[in-house]
Each structure stands twice: as structure tokens, then as C-alpha cells.
Amino acid sequence: MDYLIGVRRASPHTVKAYKTDLLQFAAWAGRKDSPDGAFVMTTTVVSSYVLQLKQQGYSSATQARKIASIKALFKFCRSMEYAPFDFSDHLARPRVTSTLPKAVSVQLVQRIIEATAETREPYGSRDRAMLETLYATGLRVSELLGINIRDIDFEDRILRCYGKGNRERIVPIHDEAIFHLREYLTSTRTRLQKSNSSDALFLNRFGKRLSRQGFWLTIKRYSSAIGTTKTITPHTFRHSFATHMIEGGAPISYVQAMLGHRSVSTTEVYNHVANQYIREEFEAAQPRMASRV
């Protein structure tokens, strides 16, 4: 874990996931003791564990992550000469089924954002600022919640965030989001701030940085409030941002930079999403299509 944090500069989310996966593997492997009481790691033990993951019905994506954590562990052990060789070298990652990200309409996003007006202060102001910023920038949730006050430049309308691998990027932000961020900072954040509060931008009721779980519950509450049947998650805002930008004619390279993708091929999936989204909107609005339903 120290190596992941200090050398690989992995995100806290990745470190937590790898730790959970490796503790699960260690607990399983610990029950495979040899007759003399001494545990011996072998390629067979590793293969048996991976087979068990498949039999337990884990998705291909979850299997891939768990295998990745095991391969990272043994690669580290081999490099440090803790093991004679890499016991996971024979493992192949399962093919992960590619699914298109889900986007929702501009109108639905706006309804969710405007639902914050019904929430008592200071939470309504905080939530409005968070949702406006998320939809204005397409940030990942961890990036949004990791923002500190000093990371926002109100004059130039830009913010600094730290993505995967702790990579820094500068993201422009529009006037509407700037307005609500300023409102939150000047009028309501002080009501959440405690004497020991950090420089975190978005605080919870204890004056500490808002967690991913707390933000997820916030999204869920506003989705329920407007009565939508669609599943809305924090990532839905990121997907919708990218889809709406491409639909509006933004260059794919611009969207790539905003999302913090290393490869443009990762961003190109939103071309397909935007085309599908436009088709669905067309079929819903076209009178001749509607008459057939």
C-alpha cells in the first residue's frame, strides 16, 4: 500500500480497492495451508482463486480489477526480491464487456440542479454549487470533492483538480457555476465550517470534507425529489456533460482535455453516446414516429 501511494501515486480510491481485494485474497489463501502447517504460495493457488472468482459470479470488470491487484502485488514482491518469481505472470485479465455510458437530457439535469432550492440552508447552497460545478466541468466525483478553496480562480474562471495518478489539470468553468460557488463561499460555507475545518471547498455537517458516499446520497435524494425513474449517479453528470458537449459541436480533443483522458480513444465513446442520444430525442419528438407508438 505504501508503494502504491508513494511510488505509483495511485488515487485513494484505487488504494482502497486494491487493499480490499488483496485482503480477500490473503484470507482465502490462508485457508489453503499445507499439511505441515506452513503455507506455500504457488501458481496453482493463484489460479484456483481466480477460478473461484468466476464461479462466484463476479462481473468481468470486478474480476479484472481483482486480478490486476494480485498482479500488482506479485510484481512488487518480485521487484523487491520477496518472491523467487511472479506467481501471477500466467494470469490473463478477463475480457471486459464494453458498455456505453448513460447520459440524460439537459432538461433532466437542470431539474435535478434546481431541486436544491427546496433544501434548507446551508445545504441547498452547497449542493447547488456542487452540482453546477460537476455539470460545468465533467469532473470525476473524487476530483470534485478534492477541490480546495485555493484551487478556484474566480477572476479567470478556472479551477485546478487532481485526477488519476494525482495528475493536475486546469479546467475552465462558466459564469453560472462561478456565481453559485461564490454565493456558497461568501454566504453559507461559514455555517458548515468548524474551528478545525480544512481548506476543503465542500464540507459536510461536521465541517469536514464531504465524502463520496455523502455526495452519492445527495444525488439520490434530489433524483427522488423530482420523481425520475432513471438511475442517476454522480457519474451520470460526467457522462451527460461529455455527451452534451459533443452534441453541441465541441471538438473531441477539447472534451478529452476537460475529462482528463490520456487517450482520445477513451473519449471517442461519447461520439456513439451522443449519436444514440440524438436518435432517442428525435424519435421522442418526431410526430410521425410518435403516431406509431
Residue 108, helix vs strand vs coil: helix
Catalytic residue, candidates 49, 135, 184, 270: 270
Q: Which pLDDT score, from 0 to 100, does residue 237 have?
A: 92
What are the E-state strand segments in 107-187? 152-153, 158-162, 168-172
Q: Which pLDDT score, from 0 to 100, does residue 275 have?
A: 56
Clarify whether 239 is annotated catalytic. no
pTM: 0.67
Is there a contact between 248 and 236 (Cβ–Cβ < 8 Å)? no
Clarify whether 238 is annotated catalytic. yes
Give the domain ranges of the chain.
2-79, 106-287
Q: Which residues of the chain have pLDDT under 50?
A: 282, 289-293
Clarify whether 279 is annotated catalytic. no
The residue to which cell 470533492 is assigned: 145
Pick the CATH number of 2-79 from 1.10.3470, 1.20.120, 1.10.150, 3.30.700: 1.10.150
Q: Which pLDDT score, from 0 to 100, does residue 12 have?
A: 80
Q: Which pLDDT score, from 0 to 100, does residue 221 have?
A: 93
Residues 180, 184, 186, CA angle at the centre, nearest 5°? 115
Q: Dihedral angle at the C-alpha atoms of 93, 98, 244, 234, nearest 10 degrees?
A: -60
Q: Which pLDDT score, from 0 to 100, does residue 210 have?
A: 92
Q: Which pLDDT score, from 0 to 100, does residue 292 have?
A: 44
Q: Which pLDDT score, from 0 to 100, does residue 290 have?
A: 46
Q: Which pLDDT score, from 0 to 100, does residue 45 have?
A: 85
Is there a contact between 250 and 226 (Cβ–Cβ < 8 Å)? no
CATH number of 106-287: 1.10.443.10
Q: Which pLDDT score, from 0 to 100, does residue 55 have?
A: 86
Q: Count CB neighbours of 60 within 10 A.
A: 13
Catalytic residue, candidates 49, 135, 261, 277: 261
